[in-house]
Amino acid sequence: MEKITSFTIDHIKLQPGVYVSRKDPVGDQVITTFDIRMTSPNEEPVMNTAELHAMEHLAATFLRNHKEFGPKVIYWGPMGCRTGNYLLLNGDYESRDIVPLMIEMFEFIRDFEGEIPGASAKDCGNYLDMNPGMENIHVATGDLLKGVTQEADVIVANILADILIHLTEDAYRLVKDEGYLIMSGIISEKWDMVREWAEKAGFLLETHMVQGEWNACVFKKTDDISGVIGG
């Protein structure tokens, strides 16, 4: 069998963007298939199915109700590889023709609040795979732990070591007595630096784990040194 068109694209070079995948004549009409590539294939993490599923419901709802393009929309749906979506329009289009539409659609998805359209057992064959209840989670721009006032029993961080060292002081302020700071993803050459900053903030090292060149650690906010390394 011959490879289908999408399998002839060099995915090593493919980057996020809006591409014309193919154009198919149907009678005297043309169907344009767009590749809406959202992550870099084989480089960046793929999208989770729940988020991709929710995006599909929101995108399809927006597109079908669009005043200009709504009557021309044939299909919107995810790629099997989960690195993007396909959009099929009735008409002969180029990528630049739909850039404003894509911006408008993704802004709609970004700003959407409330129940996702069609997120029910009656309306969808797998409605639970959309993380219902996510509207109760608030995401905001921040600067590590600066400005945070809520105390915690445990704080977990898995970021670059050069960034971890800048949150240890605020973590000590926010972790309750006998609470923990767990850090991971620390490359071996940076381990001593991270440990020094955590201990300088007041933490005591309780557990240190190593896998290859990567380090993970559990620091404790306590005055009892009997249960910590070196205690």
Tell me the C-alpha to C-alpha distance, in Å, between residue 199 and each of 35, 102, 141, 206, 211.
50, 49, 28, 11, 22
Which CATH number does the domain housing residue 37 bear? 3.30.1360.80
pLDDT in tens, 103-129: 999 999 999 988 899 999 999 999 889
Residues 113 and 187 in one domain: no
Tell me the C-alpha to C-alpha distance, in Å, between residue 60 and each of 53, 56, 199.
11, 6, 52
Q: How many domains does the chain have?
A: 2
Domain end (from 74, 107, 135): 135
Residues 106 and 210 in one domain: no
Q: Which domain holds residue 220?
A: 143-227
Domain end (from 90, 116, 135): 135
pLDDT in tens, 158-197: 999 999 999 999 999 999 999 999 999 999 999 999 999 9
Task: Please give the Cα distance from 139 to 153 (Å, whole number).
Answer: 21
Residues 50 and 96 in one domain: yes
pLDDT in tens, 65-85: 999 999 999 999 999 999 999
pLDDT in tens, 203-219: 999 999 999 999 999 99
